[in-house]
């Protein structure tokens, strides 16, 4: 499975957690129910990092929301931003441009017509803060 597909699944699983359809401890079973291997290194490392650093990730996102709060975002936009911010901050082997481009593509498929621009702006700001 390509990294872009894995990233999309990561956004979907993060969305499930945010919408309370799935608890963190249920994630291995959810991966398996979607036909994904439980031993997928990228997914497991990303999910662990998202769990470990959720407060910092959300703080960084909030720092880039002009006139908005994290609570006002749609759950899919929040999931996309959390996954991308986690990669930008904690997964140094993935180029930031790849993360942003692929997450913008995910936003184009799963969010409203203008969300991808918003997500691109927030993520570009997070990268420039580093």
Per-10-residue mean pLDDT for the chain, 130 residues long? 88 88 71 78 88 95 91 95 97 94 96 94 93
Instruction: Give residue 46's Cα distance to chain centre.
Output: 9
pLDDT of residue 16: 87
pTM of the entire predicted model: 0.92
Tell me which architecture the domain covering 3-128 has in CATH: Orthogonal Bundle (1.10)
pLDDT of residue 27: 74
pLDDT of residue 90: 96
- Of the chain, the end-to-end C-alpha distance in Å amounts to 30
**d(Cα 106, Cα 7) in Å, to the nearest integer?**
9
Per-residue tokens: 113: 């017509």
Task: Write down the domain spans for the chain.
Answer: 3-128
Element (H, E) at 12: helix 3-18
pLDDT of residue 2: 86
**d(Cα 118, Cα 85) in Å, to the nearest integer?**
14
């Amino acid at each position: 499975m390509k990294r872009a597909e894995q990233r999309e699944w990561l956004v979907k699983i993060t969305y499930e957690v945010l919408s309370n359809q799935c608890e963190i401890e249920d994630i291995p079973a959810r991966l398996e129910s979607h036909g994904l291997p439980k031993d997928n290194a990228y997914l497991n490392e990303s999910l662990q990092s998202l769990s470990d650093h959720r407060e910092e990730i959300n703080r960084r996102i909030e720092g880039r929301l002009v006139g908005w709060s994290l609570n006002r975002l749609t759950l899919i936009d929040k999931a996309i931003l959390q996954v991308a911010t986690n990669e930008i901050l904690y997964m140094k082997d993935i180029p930031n441009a790849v993360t942003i481009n692929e997450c913008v593509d995910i936003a184009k498929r799963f969010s409203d017509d203008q969300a991808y621009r918003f997500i691109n702006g927030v993520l570009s700001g997070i990268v420039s803060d580093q």
